[in-house]
Structure 1
Amino acid sequence: MSITVAVTGGIGAGKSTVTALLAERGAVVVDSDRLAREVVGSGTPGLAAIAERFGTGVISADGSLDRPALAAIVFADPVSRKALEGITHPLIRARFAQLQADAPVGSVVVNDIPLLTTADAAAAFHLVIGVGAPEDVRIRRLVGRGLAAADARARIAAQIDDEARQALCDVWVDNGATPEHTRGQALPLWSRLAGFAANHRAGRAAARGGPVLVPYDPQWPATARRLIARVHAAVGDHRVDHIGSTAVPGLASKDVIDLQLTVADLAQAEVFAPLLTAAGFPRLPDYTRDTPHDFRYDRDGHHETHPDDWRKAFHANSDPGQSINLHLRVRDSPNWAWSLRFRDWLRSDAGARSDYLALKEQTELVHGQDAGVDGYADAKEDFLARSDARIGAWADSVGWSPG
Structure 2
Amino acid sequence: MLRIGLTGGIGAGKSTVSKVLSELGAVIVDADLIAREVVERGTPGLATLIDRFGEEILAADGALDRQALAARAFADDESRLALNSIVHPLVGARTMEIIESVPEDAVLVQDIPLLVEGGMGAAFHLVLIVCVEAEERVRRLVGSRGMLETDARSRIAAQSDDDQRRAAADVLLDNNGAPGSLESEIRALWSERLVPFESNIRTRTVVTALPALAPANPQWPEQARRLIGRLELVCGDRALRIDHIGSTAVDGLPARDVIDIQITVAGLGTADDLAESLTAAGFPQIENITADDPKPAYQGGETDPALWGKRIHGAADPARPANIHLRVAEWPGQRFALLFRDWLRADAEARAEYSTINKGAADKASACSSVEGAIEAYVDAKAPWFDLAYRRAWHWAEQTGWSL
Give the TM bin, normalised by the shorter chain.
over 0.9
Asked if the contact 1:265/1:331 (under 8 Å) is kept, the reply is yes
User: Aligned partners of 1:197 and 1:304: how far apart in 2?
Assistant: 40
Query: Which ranges in structure 2 are unaligned for 5 or more consecutive residues?
Result: none
SS in 2 for 1:351: helix
User: Aligned partners of 1:310 and 1:367: how far apart in 2?
Assistant: 26
In the alignment, structure 1 residue 194 sits paired with structure 2 residue 190: no
Q: CA deviation at 1:183?
A: 1.8
Matched residue, 1:255:
257
RMSD of the TM alignment (CA)? Answer: 2.1
Asked if the contact 1:295/1:388 (under 8 Å) is kept, the reply is no
SS in 2 for 1:377: helix
User: Aligned partners of 2:82 and 2:222: how far apart in 1?
Assistant: 29
User: Aligned partners of 1:147 and 1:59: how far apart in 2?
Assistant: 18
Query: Which ranges in structure 1 are unaligned for 5 or more consecutive residues?
Result: none
SS in 1 for 2:278: helix
TM-score, normalised on structure 2? 0.92
Query: Within 5 A, what are the aligned runs for 1:29-44?
Result: 29-44=28-43
User: Aligned partners of 1:382 and 1:70: how far apart in 2?
Assistant: 68
User: Aligned partners of 1:119 and 1:329: how far apart in 2?
Assistant: 32
User: Aligned partners of 2:264 and 2:47: how far apart in 1?
Assistant: 44
Q: Which of 384, 393, 396 in structure 2 is aligned with 1:394?
A: 396
User: Aligned partners of 1:67 and 1:331: how far apart in 2?
Assistant: 54
Q: CA deviation at 1:61?
A: 7.8
Query: Within 5 A, what are the aligned runs for 1:167-246?
Result: 167-191=167-191, 192-206=193-207, 208-237=208-237, 238=239, 239-246=241-248
Asked if the contact 2:206/2:314 (under 8 Å) is kept, the reply is yes
In the alignment, structure 1 residue 138 sits paired with structure 2 residue 140: no
Matched residue, 2:343:
345
Q: CA deviation at 1:55?
A: 5.2
Matched residue, 2:80:
81
Residues 119 and 317 (structure 1 numbering): CA distance in 2 closer, same or farther, change over 3 Å? farther
1:65-89 deviations in whole A, cap 9, x for unaligned? 4433431222111222123223322
Q: CA deviation at 1:16?
A: 1.2
TM-score, normalised on structure 1? 0.92
User: Aligned partners of 2:163 and 2:297: how far apart in 1?
Assistant: 43
User: Aligned partners of 1:258 and 1:89: how far apart in 2?
Assistant: 35
SS in 2 for 1:327: strand
User: Aligned partners of 2:42 and 2:273: how far apart in 1?
Assistant: 42
- What's the % identity of the aligned pairs? 47
Residues 157 and 113 (structure 1 numbering): CA distance in 2 closer, same or farther, change over 3 Å? same
Residues 268 and 61 (structure 1 numbering): CA distance in 2 closer, same or farther, change over 3 Å? farther
Deviates more, 1:187-196 or 1:132-141: 132-141
SS in 2 for 1:321: coil
Q: CA deviation at 1:322?
A: 0.5
SS in 2 for 1:288: coil
SS in 1 for 2:289: coil
Q: Which amino acid aligns with 1:6?
A: G
Q: Which amino acid aligns with 1:271?
A: D
User: Aligned partners of 1:353 and 1:374: how far apart in 2?
Assistant: 23
Q: Which amino acid aligns with 2:122?
A: A
Residues 64 and 296 (structure 1 numbering): CA distance in 2 closer, same or farther, change over 3 Å? farther
Matched residue, 1:323:
321
Asked if the contact 1:131/1:173 (under 8 Å) is kept, the reply is yes
Q: CA deviation at 1:296?
A: 4.5
Q: CA deviation at 1:342?
A: 0.5
User: Aligned partners of 2:382 and 2:397: how far apart in 1?
Assistant: 21
In the alignment, structure 1 residue 335 sits paired with structure 2 residue 336: no
Asked if the contact 1:120/1:229 (under 8 Å) is kept, the reply is no
Matched residue, 2:115:
116
Residues 44 and 328 (structure 1 numbering): CA distance in 2 closer, same or farther, change over 3 Å? farther
Residues 241 and 81 (structure 1 numbering): CA distance in 2 closer, same or farther, change over 3 Å? same
Asked if the contact 2:4/2:124 (under 8 Å) is kept, the reply is yes
Matched residue, 1:381:
383
Q: Aligned pair count?
A: 396
In the alignment, structure 1 residue 6 sits paired with structure 2 residue 5: yes
Q: CA deviation at 1:231?
A: 0.7
1:136-174 deviations in whole A, cap 9, x for unaligned? 322221122212233222222221111111111100011
1:206-253 deviations in whole A, cap 9, x for unaligned? 3x2421111111111111111111111112143110000110011011
Q: CA deviation at 1:118?
A: 4.4
Q: Which amino acid aligns with 1:343?
A: R
User: Aligned partners of 2:283 and 2:229: how far apart in 1?
Assistant: 13
User: Aligned partners of 1:247 and 1:195: how far apart in 2?
Assistant: 27
SS in 2 for 1:102: coil
Residues 59 and 159 (structure 1 numbering): CA distance in 2 closer, same or farther, change over 3 Å? same
Asked if the contact 2:283/2:315 (under 8 Å) is kept, the reply is yes
Residues 57 and 296 (structure 1 numbering): CA distance in 2 closer, same or farther, change over 3 Å? farther
